[in-house]
Structure 1
Amino acid sequence: MKAIRRFSVRPVLPEPLRPLSELARNLRWSWHPPTTELFRHADPEGWQRSGGDPMRLLGTIQAARLARLATDRGFLRRLGLAAGDLHDYLTEPRWYQQAAEPLPRAIAYFSPEFGITAALPQYSGGLGILAGDHLKAASDIGAPLIGVGLLYRHGYFRQSLSRDGWQQERYPVLDPDELPLELLREADGSPAEVALSLPAGRSLRARIWQAQVGRVPLLLLDSGVEENAPAERDVTDRLYGGGREQRLLQEMLLGIGGVRAVRAYCRLTGHAEPEVFHTNEGHAGFLGLERIRELMDDGAHFAAALESVRAGTVFTTHTPVPAGIDRFERELVQRHFGDDGELPGVDAARVLELGMEKPAAGEPPLFNMAVMGMRLAQRANGVSTLHGEVSRQMFAALWPGFDPADVPIESITNGVHAPTWTAPEIASHQGAFSDAKLTAIRRSLREQLVHEVRRRLRDSWRQRGASPAELGWIEHVLDPDVLTIGFARRVPSYKRLTLMLHDRERLTRLLLHPERPVQIVVAGKAHPADDSGKRLIQELVRFTDDPRVRHRVVFLPDYGMGMARRLYPGCDVWLNNPLRPLEACGTSGMKAALNGCLNLSVLDGWWDEWYEPDFGWTIPSADGSGLTAERRDAIEAAALYEALEEQVAPCFYERPGRWLEMIRQTLDRLGPKVLADRMVRDYVHTLYAPAARAHRELDGESAAELADWKARVRDQWPRVRVEHVEAQGATGDSLELGASLSLRAQINLGELAAPDVEVQAVAGRVDESDTLTEPVTVPLKPVGGADLEGRWTFEGPLALDRTGPFGYTVRVLPAHPLLASGAELGLAAAPSDAAPGTVGSGMPLR
């Protein structure tokens, strides 16, 4: 019989063991081995059954065992040390508190998913794992973040395979009372809630669950409350599930409800109010609209509120393709922000103006969450150097007066949290590894992976309907002395899960080579609605089922954090073969590198900027060559096979000294670059601190002044013209290195004045079409005032600091001390005969 109701009965811990509860509820245990070992020692068998989840362990441990532990002096001593260590970690000053510059009092970090630990399954892939590592690293360096997300009662799906290799999904019910969470409560003990107004008089209510990630609180909004109607109760049912309206409601709850949850948390706990709001991808973009509404309720007009909100907002884009961005029909958004919807007092037309994109020919206009995110944030970034370049191209239309290179989108390369992802055997070693020690550690990690693969493979085949009598062959799957390659990630088409299958006979020869065999471990999930991704998985699974190769290549279903923490350390080489430049960053290779696993990858994402021959190998790519997709795959697959046959396998088997040195170089030189604490420090210095300063400067009066100034500049900009440019010191078309020109430009500013603009000389080498390459800018200064026709004269020297074809032009940008950059308004004026592709003029979209 099935129970009609489910609830959790929590154990009452004996007084000496009470600190176990605090240790279990703070997710620092997930990256702190001494605490993990304490729970393992409390009940080794129970720890195994709980899947390494302290909350589940404490919910099942027998009272008799607790009574024995309560009198075990050795255990109590270890418990006291762990509790004291956690207290010190939570209270002692860290890097952030010791910084010399004034930093934000608090930062709110919004993300649709967070991968903290397998015990809190609220993630689907790289975006969530990155968000989890961001919070952990912020905690480690003392950065005062507040994480904000949604609590999905079914999380993301669990994956299994059918007999013929087709992906199957199931969604286990998650009981918040069995997770490391606590309800945020009002002073009277009632649950704190937020509510959103929906059309037709409906409402969407959500409670606020809190997880503690070291020093960082993570607030998760849960719509599964009885007061909601069934449709509203299901809004947070599944991560990335449901139709378009459910997705819109999820993003409204995350953004608008998330801001309200932060306000409630700060009110109830005394935590400092955030000065900076960080939108991790466009899903949380509505947070800016809620903050505008707050300021309008306090008397600000829309334009001033927009400037104030933008000053303190950071937007991070993670997608390199427009198809990866959430878009909604105009009518759907308009209905939810209409007169009887959310954000009363904020005109729905204003909301639409912030998010509407220019459609392609023949397509309807759509509301674009990333476009809104860019327009509501004064500072934005991509997640690797190459992705920053791609993002500047992708969003260039928002800054129509500028070349993509001048679009104000920064690059901060992702990082990964070393304490989470580094094997203890690697992390605990002090000093340099001897050859023998390093060889032994790598083989031990490989052997652990072999046992893990066999266990998981057996479970998978049992789920596929195989009997134990059919599975004896699994005992011979993989070999701890064979070169082991890992490939694990989500399965969109651009990651090319099956590129390795392009020439199956050649791959088979690699796997079965008599002297230099290779073995491959593959894992990954396709989105439940992505049948093309499921077909790729099925194609690979059918290959791995072949009795000729199944001992050398395996596919493991249900890829998640638990599997990943075994997979990265146990592999010798991490394979990544996306279609360049569609991998925004690709942090799985970073996690592998922390364990001495060498990378073999297309030069995409982070590998494009940090690859060196001492760290691994590249797969030459054929991007930009105009080939068909099939021909490009054939070329790059051949390059992959060649790299394995001629470089990787010979080095592993025939040059062990060189292999060990590459591992050392990976650990010593690459390892420090890929760390999440480096990433968070970069965010603090590059984005958070400037955003906080701008937020403080833009109080009510200054925000209104800036809004009025922008309106005046936009109104006058069509009259701004570069009427004449001349250079003194030029005696011909060929000049000597080290010489200089004296530039003089006459600029008509209409009713604007010189302090409203910056006039720049833009100079550099020129190509055959007279386009400036690698340009530099030199400011020109006003000389005197305007003449009777409104013309101003600007002058300045231009040094000729490089040889070869050289050129220059002049451009005019809006200038104000409260702008983040001269490109912020998307306005620029240049001579009408300016070199193509150098500068241009245009009207702003923001």
Structure 2
Amino acid sequence: MNLRWSWHAETRDLFETLDPDLWQSCGGDPVRALGEVSAERLAALAGDRRFVRRLTDAVDDLEEYLATPRWYQSLGAEAPATIAYFSAEFGITEVLPQYSGGLGILAGDHLKAASDLGVPLIGVGLLYRAGYFSQGLSADGWQLEHYPSLDPHGLPIKLLRHADGSAVVITVPLPEGRTLHAHVWRAQVGRVSLLLLDSDIEENAPAERLVTDRLYGGDEDHRLRQEMLLGIGGVRALRAYCSATGTAQPEVFHANEGHAGFQGVERIRELTEAHGLTFAEALQAVRAGTVFTTHTPVPAGIDRFPKALIERYFAGFGVPMDQLLPLGAEEDPSKFNMAHMGLRLGQRANGVSELHGHVSRGMFRDLWPGFDEGDVPIGSITNGVHAPTWTARELVEMGTQTSSQGDSVYVDGPVHFDGVDRIPAAELWATRRQLRARLVDEVRRRIRETALSRGATVAEVGWTDTAFDPDVLTIGFARRVPSYKRLTLMLRDPERLKALLLDPERPLQLVIAGKSHPADDGGKKLIQQMVAFADDPEIRHRIAFLPGYDIGMARYLYWGCDVWLNNPLRPLEACGTSGMKAALNGGLNLSIRDGWWDEWFDGQNGWAIPTADGVSDHDRRDEVEARAIYELLDNQVLPRFYETDRDGIPGRWVEMVRHTLRETGPKVLATRMVRDYVQALYVPAAGSTRAMATDGYAPARTEAAWRAHLLHHWHDVRVAHVEATGAGDTPEIGSTVALRAEVELPGLEPADVEVQAAYGRVDDADGLHEVTTVPMAHEHRDGSRHWFTATVPLERTGAFGYTVRVLPHSEYLADPAELGVVSTA
């Protein structure tokens, strides 16, 4: 029942030994396998001393993994005792199908890496009785959705119960006096517990039983009830779980996307009822401990509900409507924006790659009017992937993830997996071929099954036995199928692609997979186009679209593909972690410089597809970028793969593989990502939580009063005059400029503000670039007029400019831009 087996190879080997054929037919599900294995087989194994010894070793290994102090335990008392992590989906294993794509897989990898690091995380999500959906194809290549009914009692999860054995039941109020009830299921992910709320229980009316029917299904009303259960019910489930198990209540609440935003509203309600705080005071306390991660690079990807729907559902909830609605306010006054609420409820926020952080600051800058895009308080932590889940064990056993620096978790600064340097090129190449051959076997099996499911007879599928070739360059493309990911870009010139597939000297083969959202007919048409192309008898042995993309299929792709293709419309890919998983296995990326690839492409770990960023005509842009892909394949990728020495080894290709494993591998680890979250966000958030809660939340009350007072007077704050001295007629590098600013602060004190001198390179339109800021010291006052001074150095040639700006200042602000107000000279 501990899902560590899903990434621990030795434990999976043990389960497989029960009955290899049964293990295969059960899809690698130990709960199913143990339910179906014969009593005779169990009796035989019980008498097999070698097996019992292996079993005992596995138990000891798990107990040691769960109990031994790890990296997090070295941080000391400042680290939070417990962290809650909310997500609408979690991809832990294909046996627990509660994910649709990258967001869920990322959340699953976050939990696994937290477990490996010893981070006391508790995941919170929903248990969807039909998961997302199982994908099939019709005879004409149209996506078909099947919704299997999942029985929680057959899954590796346990019902959360009270001490008397009764099931814990969580309630969430609904309009018209109705109540939504939910059971709480607990999945154990190594050291981390994952709580999944389930509304399909007897206490609910039929409509409420369907709230957790499927992931990302239903209308606005349905989605709102799901998100209320996730946020409000999730907090209540946490309280019940911590109480039942004696676990410390969370100090930090991490909302993975806007779906979980209502967790902050529920915590505000708790504080107003339990401690008598006003909404504004409770908001300060809640914001202090909240982290918000956005994964959305386009406004269209954000959940937005009609404001009237929010008013109906929260009318009797216990928070003032005139305070709640502004949290989700946006440009359209009739809408309630979940991402905006996430940002307003979270004192700390981040995107999921450096480029996505930049995109997010531009996308949400209207929430901080008056600030330059670079000052918007949204940072970035680049995603990572869980190496034990996604790396082929053959590569791990060869030492591709070892470093002379020691355990990468304990290394500050760049890590290099230099163990790969000791592996002979022939051995590395042989292992890559072995993994490619394994993928080819899996592709053949799947295309045969798919052909039969689409109406072919057994007599017509004999060609699948020889489809694909373990010695041909293999390219993978697998991801969700929204339009911006451009599944069919490679089909832009069908004849040219066909020529590449069938080249007699340097052929390539393509494995493609991905699901379209059930309501996205545009995405389904793209799949249909791809399937129609791949159905051509002339090329079907070289290209395949595989339905049913899930974790189980993905592993084969990441292990076996030589090249991972990614061609989104830049900059619409927030991160793109699939290419990271390929890199951990020595796959080379061929990608648009978007998401993580924009920051970690180094010229030796793959190829960057040139982009036509300035071209507004989408058709023309697709044409230019598709041609760039064909030319890279023709002129660089294929020649390098097929250029071999007399031993048949492509030396330059193997060195790119080696470089990728050594330099890119350590960067893409989920343990690196979770470490970054702990150090940059969780520890500071815990400190803020504790500060706000001292003396019966006195600081929260004081801070709320200070903010209200400051904002009331802010419209009168003004930089009246700035003068500069000391530069002379011909300023020189190395000299300084003395700045003196007169600032009007009616109703405020100098301690309420931070006055900054901002300087840098100035353009022809008087815009400042490469800006540096220094605080200005308070010199003296005359009533509400104050003088501040600073000295700035002249450090660069060219046009120099400066300005003075006034920002709010409080010891409890995580960023001076937090309140969204600034006054500039």
User: After superposition, what is the alpha-carbon deviation per residue over 1:695-730, rounded to whole angstroms, capped at 9, x for unaligned?
Assistant: 000121000000000001101101100001001112
> Aligned equivalents of 2:735 and 2:500: distance in 1?
61
Letter in 2 for 1:203: T
Q: Secondary structure at the match of 1:251?
A: helix
Partner of 1:358: 331
Q: Would you say how many aligned residue pairs link Structure 1 and Structure 2?
A: 795
> Aligned equivalents of 2:483 and 2:77: distance in 1?
45
Alpha-carbon deviation of 1:433? 1.7
**Alignment pair present for 1:263 and 2:239:** yes
- Residue 703 (structure 2) aligned to one of 706, 713, 728: 706
User: After superposition, what is the alpha-carbon deviation per residue over 1:413-439, rounded to whole angstroms, capped at 9, x for unaligned?
Assistant: 000000000001111113432111111
User: After superposition, what is the alpha-carbon deviation per residue over 1:641-690, rounded to whole angstroms, capped at 9, x for unaligned?
Assistant: 01100010011011511100000010011000000000000000000000
Letter in 1 for 2:665: G
- Residue 394 (structure 1) aligned to one of 359, 363, 373: 363
Alpha-carbon deviation of 1:770? 1.4
**Alignment pair present for 1:326 and 2:315:** no
**Alignment pair present for 1:179 and 2:155:** yes
Structure 1 stretch displaced more, 765-774 or 167-176 = 765-774
Partner of 2:475: 485
> Aligned equivalents of 1:731 and 1:747: distance in 2?
25
- Residue 807 (structure 1) aligned to one of 801, 807, 810: 801
Query: In structure 2, do the counterparts of structure 1 residues 101 and 295 end up closer, same or farther at CA, with 3 Å as the change threshold?
Result: closer
> Aligned equivalents of 2:331 and 2:426: distance in 1?
61
Letter in 2 for 1:315: F
- Residue 306 (structure 1) aligned to one of 269, 283, 304: 283
User: After superposition, what is the alpha-carbon deviation per residue over 1:298-323, rounded to whole angstroms, capped at 9, x for unaligned?
Assistant: 21111110000000000000010000
Partner of 1:59: 35
Partner of 2:312: 335
Q: Secondary structure at the match of 2:776?
A: strand
Query: Which structure 2 residues correspond to residues 84-483 of structure 1 after superposition, within 5 A?
Result: 84-100=60-76, 102-298=78-274, 299-339=276-316, 343-344=317-318, 346-359=319-332, 365-430=334-399, 431=419, 432-483=422-473
Partner of 1:595: 585
Partner of 1:787: 782
**Alignment pair present for 1:723 and 2:720:** yes
- Residue 737 (structure 2) aligned to one of 731, 737, 741: 741
> Aligned equivalents of 2:604 and 2:158: distance in 1?
47
- Residue 759 (structure 2) aligned to one of 758, 763, 770: 763
Alpha-carbon deviation of 1:627? 2.6
Partner of 1:648: 637
Moved over 6 A (4+): none
- Residue 513 (structure 1) aligned to one of 503, 506, 523: 503
* Alpha carbons 2:724, 2:737 under 8 Å: kept: yes
> Aligned equivalents of 1:79 and 1:534: distance in 2?
46
Q: Secondary structure at the match of 1:590?
A: helix
Alpha-carbon deviation of 1:30? 0.5
- Residue 753 (structure 1) aligned to one of 749, 756, 760: 749
> Aligned equivalents of 2:334 and 2:628: distance in 1?
42
User: After superposition, what is the alpha-carbon deviation per residue over 1:725-764, rounded to whole angstroms, capped at 9, x for unaligned?
Assistant: 00111223x4111110111000001110110000001111
Partner of 1:689: 683
User: What TM-score does the superposition give when structure 2 sets the normalisation length?
Assistant: 0.96
Q: Secondary structure at the match of 1:261?
A: helix
User: After superposition, what is the alpha-carbon deviation per residue over 1:787-812, rounded to whole angstroms, capped at 9, x for unaligned?
Assistant: 03x11000010011111111010000
> Aligned equivalents of 2:326 and 2:163: distance in 1?
40
* Structure 2 runs not aligned, ≥5 long: 400-418, 645-649
Partner of 1:18: none
Alpha-carbon deviation of 1:100? 4.8
> Aligned equivalents of 1:265 and 1:731: distance in 2?
69
* Alpha carbons 2:279, 2:320 under 8 Å: kept: no
Alpha-carbon deviation of 1:197? 1.0
User: After superposition, what is the alpha-carbon deviation per residue over 1:313-359, rounded to whole angstroms, capped at 9, x for unaligned?
Assistant: 000000100000001001111100013xxx22x11222211112112
* Structure 1 runs not aligned, ≥5 long: 1-24, 832-846
Query: Which structure 2 residues correspond to residues 476-625 of structure 1 after superposition, within 5 A?
Result: 476-623=466-613, 625=614
Letter in 1 for 2:472: V
> Aligned equivalents of 1:227 and 1:365: distance in 2?
34
User: After superposition, what is the alpha-carbon deviation per residue over 1:69-114, rounded to whole angstroms, capped at 9, x for unaligned?
Assistant: 1111111100110000100100110000012572011100000000
CA RMSD of aligned residues (A): 0.8
Structure 1 stretch displaced more, 796-805 or 107-116 = 796-805
Q: Secondary structure at the match of 1:698?
A: helix
Structure 1 stretch displaced more, 596-605 or 96-105 = 96-105
> Aligned equivalents of 1:114 and 1:610: distance in 2?
26
> Aligned equivalents of 2:222 and 2:390: distance in 1?
34
Alpha-carbon deviation of 1:504? 0.5
Letter in 1 for 2:817: A
Q: Secondary structure at the match of 1:693?
A: helix
User: After superposition, what is the alpha-carbon deviation per residue over 1:166-209, rounded to whole angstroms, capped at 9, x for unaligned?
Assistant: 00000000000110000000111110011011111111000000
Partner of 2:774: 778
Letter in 1 for 2:387: A
Q: Secondary structure at the match of 2:537?
A: coil
User: What TM-score does the superposition give when structure 1 sets the normalisation length?
Assistant: 0.93
> Aligned equivalents of 1:224 and 1:349: distance in 2?
33
